Each structure stands twice: as C-alpha cells, then as structure tokens.
Amino acid sequence: MKIAVAGTGYVGLVTGVCLAENGNENIMCVDVDEEKVNLMKKGICPIFEEGLEELMQKNYQKGRIDYTTDYKSAYKDSDVIIIAVGTPEKTDGSANLDAIKDVAMQITECITKDVLVVIKSTVPMGTNEKIEKLIKEHLIDKNIRVEIASNPEFLSQGTAVKDMLHGYRIVCGVESEWAKEILQEIYKNFDQPILITNRNSAEMIKYASNDFLALKISFMNDIANLCEIVGADIEEVALGMSYDKRIGNKFLKAGIGYGGSCFPKDTKALHWLAQFKGYELKTVKAAIEVNENQKLKLIKKAAEYFESFEGKKIAILGLTFKPGTDDIREAPSISNIKYLLEDEADIYAYDPVGIKNVQKIFGDSIKYSDSIEDVIKDAEACFIMTEWEDVKNFELKKYRELMKRPLIFDGRNCYDLVEAKNEGLEYYSLGRAPMNPEITTVIDNRNKEQK
C-alpha cells in the first residue's frame, strides 16, 4: 500500500516514520520546504523529538520512507494520502484550514485512482465532510473514488514517538466499510485499541480530549492560587487527589500555564465553534481565562519586590513550553520576556534546546547562554519557566553564591521549600506552604493483595 503524508511537522513526520517503523513499506512524506526535505534525506531531523532521528535514519536506509517536495508524483498513484498540515488559530480563535484546503486542491489535480484521504490534523467538527465535498466538486476524473476519513493524532511533544507507537488508542472516523478496512490494514501492527466511529465523533474526541486535559491544568492552577491564600499546599492536595482512581495522577501539577501547539489553539477553537453554533462552553472559557492569567503570575509577584525592572539583570531559566521539546509556541516564557523587555530589563536566558527558536522572535534584544551559571551570575532575580532536569538538579547554593540577590521565582515548583530556605534563598513558588517532614507522611495500611 502506497501512503503519502502531506506535511512534515511534529504530526506528519512522526506519523510517517512510525508507520514505516511498524511495517508500512512505501511512505512518501511531502513538504514545500526544499531545504527541510534535503535535511531529512540526510537523516537529519528538523525538530527536537526524542528517538525520531534514529527511526528516520533506520527506515530511510531500509527504503521504507522517503521525502519530497514533488506532491504531484507523491499523490499520483497513492492508495492513502494523510493530511497532517498545520491548523493555526485565526485572530478570532477559530481554526485556519487554508493549508488543508490547499492540499485538497492539489489532490484533485494529481490522483489517478481510488484513494482514501485521511485528515490527521486537528480540525473542527464537520471539516472532513466539507473537505470531501470540496475534493469531489473539483475532481477532474469523476470516476475516481475519493473518501475522507478522520484519524486524529494524540501526540505529546517530547514523547511523540512513544505516543504514536504505544498510545492509549487509535481513533478512526469513517463513513464506509471500505475506509474502515484500509485504516485497519494501516494500523494492524500497532498494539493499541482501534476505535471506529463516525467522522464527527472522531473530530470531537480529539478536541474533547485536549480540552479536558487543559481543564485539569487550569483547575489545578486555580486551586494552587487559592492554596497560597488559605495556607494549604498544592502538592499535598494533588497527592491526596491522585489516590482517587476517578481523578488519576496525571496533569495535577501546578505551574504557570500550558502552552505548545495544541492546548491553547484547541481550547480557543472549540470555544469559538460552540459560540458560532450558539452555545457557550463555560468550562472551556474558564480554562482559557485561568491560563492566560497564570502565565504572568510570576511577574505579578516580582512586582512586589521591584518598582521597575529597568536596568536590572534578570535571569530566565527555560524557554520552551515544556521540557523535552524545542517548541516555544505559546510558551509562558515568551509573554514574560515581552513584559520584561517593555520595562527595559537586562535579560539573560538559558535553555538547552530552545534558544534558536527564541532568537527568531527577540534577536539580540536578550542575551543567551548554554550555562545556567553564566545566566544567573550577578542577576537580581531569576525566573524558572521550564522544568528541565538540569534546572531541577542545579545546586541551590550556586544561586546564593552567584546572584547579586538570590531571589527566585519558580513557575514549575522545582525545589524543596525547606532546602531553599536553608540555603538562604528568597524563594517563591506556586501554591505551596512549608511542609513539616515529621507530619507530611503517607501511611499505606493495605495488604499485598489489596495493592
């Protein structure tokens, strides 16, 4: 079976490579960027994603996957064309489907036989139906069978390869037995449950899943803010909640808000769609509002210490929206840096992989280093934006020894409160109260059978 993948971003590239890894032997990935395609042919991964480059090289050498800018030859005799291009948000919050429509029109020009078009991009409900109608209206050879299937991705940046190969489920939205059988064939070697639904349900499953996780994050941040006021500790609260299997232990960590290419865009898109249909998703609206306010939580706290940041050296540790990726889209660091620059702060930033992407936004208006020590030296305040392991494992005494004033605003709760106090740091984190090690204990009286 010949499979073409339109788009080689996080979704398209991971999808193509993992399909090849799990036994599909004729994958062609298509991208408009010739320089990017040339890099991929050399086995160089254009994004930072653990394990992806090794699988690219392995499957390219085995002839299972290739890369091209020539969409005409790629789509011409494909059995399946997977659309995995971006759907960025518009200014009103709705999803921009222009790239998907462009690929759809290219398909109408090129295909020479029956083909299943699979939309893996995150799209609003009803998009699959609209794209199918668009293709059929413009298809030159009306005797060719074209159907659209929805196959949303559930990839998390930093663990995308693992999520694709060993995910919780594969969702396929189809309207015919023919489409169902093709998708089952593609995914036959994936050891995951395959859920077959109609297309609208598949589209909604993707949005509902992402928005629910965003809700959990915003809920915990909201509770963390209240914990600060009433003297509770958010980490103890989260631990207590996690024992309830109905709640689980994932996405309960407080911080300075979610970012990346999915949660911000998908919450806004679903909220916009509901409003467009005359319904208000109040919970999703609240999640968006909480997240936007949370991003500047540290700046608001720091304003209690500084009348102005003008001329002050400020250290930023972590630029990406989370560890394990070089993605800075909607990263809390960006909005904080913008605020500090407007107040004329002298900013020094550290990140192990995200510096190049941040330079595209701020250029040389801030200073960069691959050394935490260099960034914090003589700084009057330090903001922790991403919980990279080298940040979490950094010796606390170095803040005291190197900084002009050991004032730490930790947006990811990286350090122990008692240890920070003992090192003489002025340490602010989110929603935490000093814990008494002699009191804070987990006593598990369950017997082995119960465990």
Instruction: Name the residues annotated as catalytic.
Output: 262
The helix/strand/coil state of 405 is coil
Distance CA 258, CA 446 (A): 36
Residue 109: CB atoms within 10 Å: 13
Euclidean distance between the first and final Cα of the chain, in Å? 47
Please report the sign of the dihedral spanned by the C-alpha atoms of residue 58, residue 59, residue 61, residue 67. Answer: negative
Distance CA 336, CA 341 (A): 9
Distance CA 50, CA 44 (A): 13
Residue 276: CB atoms within 10 Å: 12
Q: Which two tokens stand for residue 224?
A: 């963390």
Task: Say which amino acid occupies 394.
Answer: F
* DSSP string for residues in 383-446: EE-S--HHHHTS-HHHHHHHSSS-EEEETT--S-HHHHHHTT-EEE-SS-----TTT-------
Asked if residue 396 lies in contact with residue 423, where contact means CB atoms within 8 angstroms, the answer is yes
Asked if residue 86 lies in contact with residue 99, where contact means CB atoms within 8 angstroms, the answer is yes
| 194-197/146-150 β-pairing | unpaired
Q: Which two tokens stand for residue 60?
A: 């390219």
Q: Which two tokens stand for residue 132?
A: 């199918």
Distance CA 364, CA 368 (A): 9
The helix/strand/coil state of 44 is coil
Percent of residues in the chain assigned helix, strand, coil, to nearest 5: 45, 15, 45
Asked if residue 294 lies in contact with residue 431, where contact means CB atoms within 8 angstroms, the answer is no
Distance CA 271, CA 211 (A): 10
Please report the sign of the dihedral spanned by the C-alpha atoms of residue 240, residue 243, residue 246, residue 250. Answer: positive
Q: What are phi and psi of 148, to 5 degrees?
A: -110, 135
Q: Which two tokens stand for residue 304?
A: 């209690």
CA dihedral of residues 133, 138, 141, 146 (deg, nearest 10): -30
What does each C-alpha distance from 262 to 209, 281, 335 come to in angstroms?
Answer: 11, 18, 17
Identify each DSSP E strand in 254-406 by its residue range: 313-317, 346-350, 367-369, 381-384
